[in-house]
Chains A and B, each alone.
Chain A
Amino acid sequence: QKEVEQNSGPLSVPEGAIASLNCTYSDRGSQSFFWYRQYSGKSPELIMFIYSNGDKEDGRFTAQLNKASQYVSLLIRDSQPSDSATYLCAGGNEKLTFGTGTRLTIIP
């Protein structure tokens, strides 16, 4: 069973702080990793993707990938109330395997 597991939530972070979301995966053959944001009742929205070991930054978001540890993370700096959502980690090649999501709440 190829699995993607995310740290259990819900996660509450004060506005302006750093939110840290973590994910591990079991399939060493996975080459691509993604973070999607999903607001309640809406479809997933792509936030970040990362293919290589190391860090990838895009604005307030940083994705980190460690293939040796089979670990992916997402850091959100200067958290805003609009960041409150469920964050889905996904990995794979053509098809993606998703985690169950971590619900993040930013507290004003």
Chain B
Amino acid sequence: DTGVSQNPRHKITKRGQNVTFRCDPISEHNRLYWYRQTLGQGPEFLTYFQNEAQLEKSRLLSDRFSAERPKGSFSTLEIQRTEQGDSAMYLCASSDSRGPAFFGQGTRLTVV
């Protein structure tokens, strides 16, 4: 499978717990993006990497959120002390420097 892969597909967690999501981009893509989508809305930009460098973070990304892309390959998004408002679909996408972004299947987070 040469597409963007996200794990897990679904995550249910209790409020206050930490969660971590993983994204494996398309192998030749140097850019990796994280978006968040809630019901009835379009995806909202969270952050993006070019290779291993995190180039931009949205103000939506509070101190409880952190993203990494060690070695410029896969990326992880961690949410600490989850809140009910964090419940959403977390989408990862990748692209090369000039091409369009392709999305993974998403990780649906439910905070109870």
Listed in ascending order, the chain A residues whose CB lies under 8 Å from chain B are 4, 32, 34, 36, 42-46, 49, 88, 90, 94-101
Contact = CB atoms under 8 A, between A and B. Distances in A.
Interface residues of B, number: 22
Interface in B30-84: 31, 33, 35, 40-45, 48, 50, 55-56
A94 B100 contact: no
Given A94-B56, A95-B33, A95-B56, A46 B42 contact: no
B91 A90 contact: no
Interface string B19-38: 00000000000010101000
Interface of B: 31, 33, 35, 40-45, 48, 50, 55-56, 89, 91, 100-106
22 contacts: A43-B91, A44-B43, A44-B91, A46-B100, A46-B101, A49-B100, A90-B43, A94-B50, A95-B45, A95-B48, A95-B56, A96-B33, A96-B43, A96-B45, A96-B101, A97-B45, A98-B43, A98-B44, A100-B41, A101-B40, A101-B41, A101-B42
A100 B43 CA distance: 8
Contacts of B44: 98
Contacts of B41: 100-101
Contacts of B103: 36, 43-46
